[in-house]
Structure 1
Amino acid sequence: MVKYNQSAILTIIAAHILAGCTPSPAPEHEDVRPVRTLIAGRTLGSVGANYSGEIRARYESQLGFRTGGKIVARLVEVGSHVKRGQPLLQLDPSQEMLMVNAASADTDAARSRVAQSRVDVQRAEQLLAKNFASQAELDHQHLALDQAEAQLRSALARQQMNANLRGFTTLVADRDGVVSAINAEAGSVVAAGQPVAIVDADGEREVTISIPESRVDELRKAKSLQISVWAHPGKLWNGTLRELAPATDSVTRTYSARITIEQPDPVLLRLGMTASVFAPDVEGSGAIRLPLTAIADHDGERQVWIVDPKTKRVVRRSVQLGAAQNDSVLVVAGLAAGETVVTAGVHQLHANQQVKLADSTPSPASGSAK
């Protein structure tokens, strides 16, 4: 009996020893997820609106002959700088010269008829004074004189018109500028009024752009416009909206707009250069800009993950979004400047999850809120 008790005691002691040697279960390890973050900051304006366009002259003259004919001489080339009144192209003037000669002959004939009518009036007056002619005959001579004088005035007017047509055979520049296009060559037959040359005036320069209908109001409300060109990427010019088309183009369905460049540099800004027009403050108030990757859709709400700087844990926050462009979006409500926002991996997080921060970067174009 005693031996049995000793064996039982030894068995119990061995079991306790083995139980003490068995390792206790390890505590559950929390998944710490590395994330990219961004420090939210306010920017004056919005994501901005950028439009591509072309530099053009404020005044573009499409010139054509005021009479038809055959071009016999081209006196300038495309790119030539011309002065006001300088000849550009010349028509064959032979037809107009014949018309001028015919009008001159008609004028001389009318002038002779006037002179003869005056002599007839004087003769009729002398005969009437001697009672050799009646008053009716004198009145008839006065009427003939009036008719002759009217015919002379008509002939003089036709002569002047034909002389003008003779002058219209030379196409001249109506202002100082650069010849940007010539649409006819020597030997071509053109009609009156047909555009054959374009002269871009010196002085004011503009950028022509096309605006989608969804951004027309933004462009109208823009407080400032900045213009840059590809050829000089580090240079900026200020601009103002001068003209906005009232209707869309039938092909592109966009609105055409002209932006006047303030104080243009004629050396740097050449006609035809590709330019960009940037409207940096189309929203008109301060807002926070975030990349689109920071926005998550949860139960129909737009939300972001905010990182607690002390615990390094994330909290879900609902936000109100504004305008978007390319890969950026404005947050107009629900977020304060200085908060740390997760910008990558937002769909793999859960509430109160601990994260490991990569280097936080400030919000693009951030600044102090006003």
Structure 2
Amino acid sequence: MSGMRRMRAAAVAAMLLALCACGDGGGQAPPTRPVLVERPQPAPGTSRSFPGEIRARAESPLAFRIGGQLVRREVDAGDRVTRGQLLAVIDQGDVEAQSRAAAARLAAAEAQLRRAAADRARYAALAGDQLVSRSALDAQEAAWRAADGEARAARAQAEVARNQAGYAELRAPVDGVIASRQAEAGQVVAAGQAVFTLAADDGREVAIALPESVVADFSVGQPVEVELWTAPGERLRGRFREISPAADPVARTYAARVAIEDADAARVALGQSAEVHAAGTGAALSVPLSAVQGGAGGEATVWVFDDGRVRAVAVEVGDFGAERVPVTSGVAADDWVVVAGGHLLRDGQAARAVDRRNRPVDAAPR
């Protein structure tokens, strides 16, 4: 009997140790989980596609600020340039002559000013000894003031002439690519006449045209997807940046610009063909079947990655398809939805998110 009691006491002690171990483990923070995420996509039948062309966000015509004969052209269409790089030069003979003439006028005006200042000083001394009248001193004071004004004007004209000489060189204002050339060496160009068109390196966009029957379904800031015709099946994130308020009088379409987010200039080349996939306002989104989880009450939920953590979001879903399920409410088009590993997550748990191309995703807090 004593042996049985010892065995029962040992079993009870083992159970107590197990319970204590479980209690200690429950106080630990859940581990950081790796998860696969993607953006919700428009549900089948709710997306529209629009063909377009890759353009630079800023396309600036470059021109000389003075007129003259173009004597040298340093770049051509398609060349990449950096800020401050010399692009073209016009004949500097006239502007250099004007600069020399302005410098000569300045020298003469300053000499006249020095003479007027000396005369004023002499007359002031004579007036102090009462050897000249007050009116004679006032005349010398006026002459000095006039000479001083002439010198100031000549100094300003000389500065303008020096600037004009600098305007004979056309330089790139920013980094970018020469999109087109409108003048050749030997041609006489007027001030303000475009010589080059510069596509700046501050972003890439898709220029599209929206039919008037659907333009009301889209708004500035709305997320879309851009598919390059050279990379079918691979979609880049974008947003409507601009939608024209007036229709083209001939085509009856509305010009729109779609900004490509995180566009690689090496892959997204100027002039390249692209297709914009956009869902109208209020259209349903869809997520993969693996993203939808069942809640405690039977409702559908998905995990959304935001600010380094995941949170469970209740959603309303439609009829399940073979691979995807439409979501009518609960998520937005710019949410990062967990599509793999959701069954291992807890609400508020830290997570490391990657997209389909195994690139880290850093979702900023809303």
TM-score under structure 1 length normalisation: 0.65
Segment of structure 1 superposing worse, 44-53 or 103-112: 44-53
Instruction: Report the equivalent of 2:175.
Output: 176
Q: Which amino acid aligns with 1:179?
A: I
For the residue of structure 1 that corresponds to 2:158, the secondary structure is helix
1:228 & 1:241 partners in 2: Cα distance? 15
Q: 1:368 to 1:142 in 2, by over 3 A?
A: closer
- Counterpart mapping for 1:56-71 below 5 A: 56-71=55-70
For the residue of structure 2 that corresponds to 1:367, the secondary structure is strand
- Moved >4 Å (runs of 4+): none
Matched, 1:263 2:221: no
Q: 1:212 to 1:281 in 2, by over 3 A?
A: closer
Matched, 1:78 2:77: yes
1:221 & 1:263 partners in 2: Cα distance? 18
User: Deviations along 1:126-156, whole A, 9 cap, x unmatched?
Assistant: 2112221011111111111111011111001
Please say if residues 45 and 281 of structure 1, whose CA atoms lie closer than 8 Å, have aligned partners that are also in contact.
Answer: no
How far is 1:229 from its partner? 1.1
Instruction: Report the equivalent of 2:27.
Output: none
How far is 1:266 from its partner? 1.8
Question: Whose relative contact order is higher, 1 or 2, with alpha carbons under 8 Å and at least 6 apart?
Answer: 1
User: Deviations along 1:6-50, whole A, 9 cap, x unmatched?
Assistant: xxxxxxxxxxxxxxxxxxxxxxxxxxxxxxxxxxxxx73644211
Q: 1:222 to 1:121 in 2, by over 3 A?
A: closer
Matched, 1:204 2:162: no
How far is 1:193 from its partner? 0.6
For the residue of structure 2 that corresponds to 1:276, the secondary structure is strand
2:221 & 2:123 partners in 1: Cα distance? 84
User: Deviations along 1:146-193, whole A, 9 cap, x unmatched?
Assistant: 110111110011111111111101111000111111100001111101
Q: Which amino acid aligns with 1:55?
A: I
Q: Which amino acid aligns with 1:44?
A: A
Q: 1:201 to 1:276 in 2, by over 3 A?
A: same
Determine what percentage of the aligned residue pairs are the same residue.
36
Q: Which amino acid aligns with 2:283?
A: G
How far is 1:197 from its partner? 0.5
Please say if residues 220 and 239 of structure 2, whose CA atoms lie closer than 8 Å, have aligned partners that are also in contact.
Answer: no
Q: 1:211 to 1:368 in 2, by over 3 A?
A: closer
Unaligned runs of 5+ in 1: 1-42, 288-335, 339-361
1:368 & 1:248 partners in 2: Cα distance? 34
Matched, 1:49 2:48: yes
How far is 1:234 from its partner? 2.5
Q: Which amino acid aligns with 2:325?
A: G
Q: 1:251 to 1:196 in 2, by over 3 A?
A: farther
2:125 & 2:280 partners in 1: Cα distance? 92
Instruction: Report the equivalent of 1:285.
Output: 284
Please say if residues 45 and 282 of structure 1, whose CA atoms lie closer than 8 Å, have aligned partners that are also in contact.
Answer: no
For the residue of structure 2 that corresponds to 1:98, the secondary structure is helix
Q: 1:129 to 1:273 in 2, by over 3 A?
A: same
For the residue of structure 1 that corresponds to 2:247, the secondary structure is coil
Q: Which amino acid aligns with 1:128?
A: A
How far is 1:62 from its partner? 0.9
How far is 1:367 from its partner? 2.8
1:155 & 1:143 partners in 2: Cα distance? 18
How far is 1:221 from its partner? 8.2
How far is 1:196 from its partner? 1.1
Root mean square deviation, CA, Å: 2.2
Matched, 1:242 2:241: yes
How far is 1:265 from its partner? 1.6
User: Deviations along 1:63-90, whole A, 9 cap, x unmatched?
Assistant: 1000001100001121111111111011
1:196 & 1:223 partners in 2: Cα distance? 36
Please say if residues 89 and 169 of structure 2, whose CA atoms lie closer than 8 Å, have aligned partners that are also in contact.
Answer: yes
Instruction: Report the equivalent of 2:110.
Output: 111
How far is 1:283 from its partner? 4.4
Count of aligned positions: 256
- Counterpart mapping for 1:1-370 below 5 A: 44=43, 46-220=45-219, 223-285=222-284, 337=319, 367=325, 370=328
Please say if residues 54 and 273 of structure 2, whose CA atoms lie closer than 8 Å, have aligned partners that are also in contact.
Answer: yes
1:368 & 1:230 partners in 2: Cα distance? 27
2:204 & 2:252 partners in 1: Cα distance? 25
For the residue of structure 1 that corresponds to 2:156, the secondary structure is helix
1:211 & 1:222 partners in 2: Cα distance? 15
How far is 1:369 from its partner? 5.9
Please say if residues 222 and 279 of structure 1, whose CA atoms lie closer than 8 Å, have aligned partners that are also in contact.
Answer: no
Please say if residues 222 and 240 of structure 2, whose CA atoms lie closer than 8 Å, have aligned partners that are also in contact.
Answer: no
1:104 & 1:221 partners in 2: Cα distance? 55
Q: Which amino acid aligns with 2:69?
A: K
Please say if residues 220 and 240 of structure 2, whose CA atoms lie closer than 8 Å, have aligned partners that are also in contact.
Answer: no
For the residue of structure 1 that corresponds to 2:207, the secondary structure is strand
How far is 1:247 from its partner? 1.0
